[in-house]
Amino acid sequence: DAKTTQPNSMESNEEEPVHLPCNHSTISGTDYIHWYRQLPSQGPEYVIHGLTSNVNNRMASLAIAEDRKSSTLILHRATLRDAAVYYCILRPQTQGGTSYGKLTFGQGTILTVHP
């Protein structure tokens, strides 16, 4: 499985933008880039995913480098509720048959948001 590298921790102030980086230099052409986050005492929740183009949704934006070897999750205005562990995951494109689309979680980035 292709690996991702993220900083162990980052800090931000409330209402400021946050840029969470992820390196994935061994990404294959069919790997999707997924981001999940895990709030304290909860299961992970989906944030966003993309393949080649930048993506936006109500939670965040995902900026993908042109060579796809890195990506950045952007929280436009951090709130205290965004304090969580953020996981960058490469997911192989769903294959036929047992299309379980395995997610391999790394250590993630612990985001601390200061009031």
Binding site for another protein (CB under 8 A): 32, 34, 36, 41-46, 49, 91, 94, 98-108
Biggest CA–CA distance in the chain, Å, is 48
- The answer for residues whose C-beta is within 8 angstroms of residue 6's C-beta and 6 or more apart is 20, 21, 22, 23, 86, 87, 88, 106, 107, 108, 109
Report the residue number, 10 or 91, with the smaller CB distance to another protein: 91
Report the residue number, 21 or 92, with the smaller CB distance to another protein: 92
Q: Min. distance of Cβ 13 from another protein in angstroms?
A: 28
DSSP 8-state secondary structure symbol assigned to residue 95 = P
Backbone angles phi, psi at 80, to 5 degrees: -60, -30
Q: Min. distance of Cβ 15 from another protein in angstroms?
A: 27
Q: Min. distance of Cβ 56 from another protein in angstroms?
A: 15
